[in-house]
């Protein structure tokens, strides 16, 4: 059987390695700067015994190698990327350009506050804009990603209950939630309790009622949820939690569907995290370095992490731990990923209130247009109106011999990044599609045509789909073998043999 990885396309950089990098000797003149060996500054017991095993290649070979690898990759800049939930959305180049203006790029986080007034103003204004968008009272830009925002928020909630002398250890999480929600709870030292969704894919109020008690710290709800459905009972949910002394936490990753339409602070949310990469055009950090700010109502503000940007008269400065006795402390370096935050600032300021509203409308329009084109050929994951994303089920196709995984692989072959599959867990053979607001009707139609063709092919002969992808650098992988027998390290070949 042929290898699933087409190594003929590009060898590993270690396989290109030659002593001296294959670069002509004396290409650059020798350095005339006195070489003060770093070794003399490090205690001998800490010095490595051998140099690291790095590939020895010239600059040109290294640049070509990585450029060729990047050309094998799918990205928002090369292909339509309808990935639901952990969306990759178009990041306007103007946001990138402005975020690297010299005044931003050439500053250092340890500079005194008086010398970075411009950056502090941008951060402070971004906080105010996020307050307006979300209806929250205070924002911390500190967390490095959505999941990090969840953890930060849970620690804030924990500190709030502790300050009232209450020990609440349970966090309620709907079964449709993103996997980072229970993971963040575990890291925060809380116990998770699962809530079942009703037939409309929403929180079941009876189930919520039966699980609420004096030991519940909060409910973590995603709204719109991961089925792309707005939780229509959200005000009732907030009231039930507050009556039980618990808080309502909102995973705001899907806020792009609500911008300018409704605000979590107005429907009872106490704390939420933003995924700036899904909502405000920041490249997806995937755990960092991205940005997952949190917003809180006033009663939780004292617990926010440090530092905090404050404005005094016309000056800005960073407040530290000594001035904030109830803070949960510092969870990462400095005050967030400034480069990512500036991109969000530029995006928000360029679009303004009407532009942000248009985003929500276009995101919902695009998702519903695609849904209406595909719903005859695929089963729906749930009944109800979609907002910014929707979930199909490939159950019908599975009965004919092709699974959601096969459909995703075939899409790669046709030039599309695959949608999220097998999530949310409550939909069989889930295919979760989020086109985002910036795609043209032409792109949506081309993608819909591809999905419809795949459905027709499966009806006629599923093997047309199950062998995909045939034209990718990596074809069908032995997934069980990869999990049970992972080869994670390249070993140099013995003389006369190929490396592995
Ligand atoms: C609903 C939801 N919650 C949380 C996250 C986690 O965000 P991040 O990948 O930035 O950690 C995501 C991913 O985008 C998400 O879709």
222 CB near ligand 1 (under 6 Å): yes
Contacts of 172 by beta carbon, 8 Å cutoff, 6+ apart: 192, 193, 194, 195, 208, 211, 212, 216, 218, 219, 220
Task: Dump strand ranges (E) for 371-416.
Answer: 379-380, 390-393
State in Å: Cα 255 to ligand 1 middle.
11
213 CB near ligand 1 (under 6 Å): no
CB 436 within 8 A of CB 89: yes
Distances (CA, A) of 11 to 15, 17, 60, 330: 6, 10, 15, 43
Going along the chain from its start, the domains and CATH numbers come out as 94-349 (3.40.640.10), 357-484 (3.90.1150.10)
146 CB near ligand 1 (under 6 Å): yes
Pocket test residue of 180, 278, 286, 341 for ligand 1, highest count of atoms within 8 A of CB = 180
Pocket test residue of 150, 151, 275, 433 for ligand 1, highest count of atoms within 8 A of CB = 275
> Would you write out the chain's pLDDT as a tens digit for each of its 500 residues?
455 656 567 888 988 888 877 776 666 777 787 766 777 788 889 988 888 888 899 888 999 999 998 888 888 889 999 999 887 788 899 999 999 999 999 999 889 999 999 999 999 999 999 999 999 999 999 999 999 999 999 999 999 999 999 999 999 999 999 999 999 999 999 999 999 999 888 999 999 999 999 999 999 999 999 999 999 999 999 999 999 999 999 999 999 999 999 999 999 999 999 999 889 988 876 555 789 999 999 999 999 999 999 999 999 999 999 999 999 999 998 888 999 999 999 999 999 999 999 999 999 999 999 999 999 999 999 887 899 999 999 999 999 999 999 999 999 999 999 999 999 999 999 999 999 999 999 999 999 999 999 999 999 999 999 999 998 888 888 889 989 999 888 887 776 565 55
Q: What is the pLDDT of residue 1?
A: 43
Residue 287 alpha carbon, nearest atom of ligand 1: 11
301: three-class secondary structure by DSSP: helix
Q: What is the pLDDT of residue 258?
A: 96
88 CB near ligand 1 (under 6 Å): no
State in Å: Cα 317 to ligand 1 middle.
31
- For residue range 127-144, what is the model confidence (pLDDT) as tens digits? 999 999 999 999 999 999
147 CB near ligand 1 (under 6 Å): yes
Neighbours of 4 (CB within 10 A): 15
Distances (CA, A) of 371 to 304, 363, 379: 40, 12, 11
86 CB near ligand 1 (under 6 Å): yes
State in Å: Cα 293 to ligand 1 middle.
12
91 CB near ligand 1 (under 6 Å): no
Q: Whose CA is nearest to atom 13 of ligand 1?
A: 86
State in Å: Cα 85 to ligand 1 middle.
7
Pairing of strands 430-433, 420-421: antiparallel
Q: Whose CA is nearest to atom 16 of ligand 1?
A: 85
226 CB near ligand 1 (under 6 Å): yes
| pTM value surpassing 0.75 | yes
CB 398 within 8 A of CB 458: no
The values of phi and psi at residue 430, to 5°, are: -65, 140
250 CB near ligand 1 (under 6 Å): no
State in Å: Cα 216 to ligand 1 middle.
23
101: three-class secondary structure by DSSP: coil
């Amino acid at each position: 059987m042929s290898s699933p990885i087409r190594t003929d396309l590009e060898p590993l950089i270690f396989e290109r390695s030659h002593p001296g990098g294959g670069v002509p000797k004396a290409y650059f003149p020798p350095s005339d700067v006195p070489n003060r060996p770093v070794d003399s500054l490090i205690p001998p017991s800490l010095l490595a015994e051998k140099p690291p095993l790095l590939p020895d290649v010239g600059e040109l070979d290294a640049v070509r190698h990585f450029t060729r690898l990047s050309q094998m990759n799918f990205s928002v800049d090369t292909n339509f990327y309808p990935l639901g939930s952990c969306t990759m959305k178009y990041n306007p180049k103007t946001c990138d350009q402005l975020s690297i203006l010299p005044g931003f790029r050439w500053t250092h986080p340890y500079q005194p506050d008086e010398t970075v007034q411009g950056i502090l103003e941008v951060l402070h204004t971004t906080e105010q804009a996020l307050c307006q968008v979300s209806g929250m009272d205070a924002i911390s830009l500190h967390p490095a990603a959505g999941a990090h925002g969840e953890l930060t928020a849970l620690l804030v909630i924990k500190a709030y209950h502790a300050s009232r002398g209450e020990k609440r250890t349970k966090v309620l999480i709907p079964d449709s939630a993103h996997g980072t929600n229970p993971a963040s709870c575990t890291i925060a030292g809380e116990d998770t309790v699962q809530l079942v969704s009703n037939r409309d894919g929403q929180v079941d109020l009876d189930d919520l009622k039966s699980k609420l008690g004096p030991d519940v710290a909060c409910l973590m709800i995603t709204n719109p949820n991961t089925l792309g459905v707005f939780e229509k009972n959200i005000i009732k949910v907030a009231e039930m939690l507050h009556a039980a002394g618990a808080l309502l936490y909102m995973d705001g990753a899907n806020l792009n569907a609500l911008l300018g339409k409704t605000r979590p602070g107005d429907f009872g949310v106490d704390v939420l995290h933003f995924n700036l990469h899904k909502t405000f055009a920041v490249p997806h950090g995937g755990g960092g370095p991205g940005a997952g700010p949190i917003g809180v109502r006033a009663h939780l503000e004292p617990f926010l992490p440090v530092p905090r940007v404050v404005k005094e008269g016309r000056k800005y400065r960073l407040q530290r731990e000594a001035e904030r006795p109830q803070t949960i402390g510092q969870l990462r370096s400095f005050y967030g990923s400034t480069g990512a935050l500036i991109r969000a600032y530029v995006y928000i300021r360029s679009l303004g209130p009407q532009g942000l509203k248009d985003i929500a409308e276009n995101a919902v329009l695009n998702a519903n247009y695609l849904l209406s084109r595909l719903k005859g050929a695929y089963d729906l994951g749930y009944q109800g109106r979609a907002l910014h994303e929707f979930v199909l089920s490939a159950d019908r196709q599975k009965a004919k011999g092709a699974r959601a995984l096969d459909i995703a692989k075939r899409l790669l072959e046709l030039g599309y990044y695959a949608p999220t599959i097998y999530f949310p867990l409550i939909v069989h053979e889930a295919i979760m599609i989020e086109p985002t607001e910036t795609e043209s009707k032409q792109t949506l139609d081309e993608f819909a045509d591809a999905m419809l063709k795949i459905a027709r092919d499966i009806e006629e002969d599923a093997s047309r789909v199950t062998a995909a992808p045939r034209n990718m650098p990596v074809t069908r992988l032995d997934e069980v073998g990869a999990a049970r027998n992972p080869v994670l390290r390249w070993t140099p070949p013995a003389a006369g043999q190929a490396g592995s």
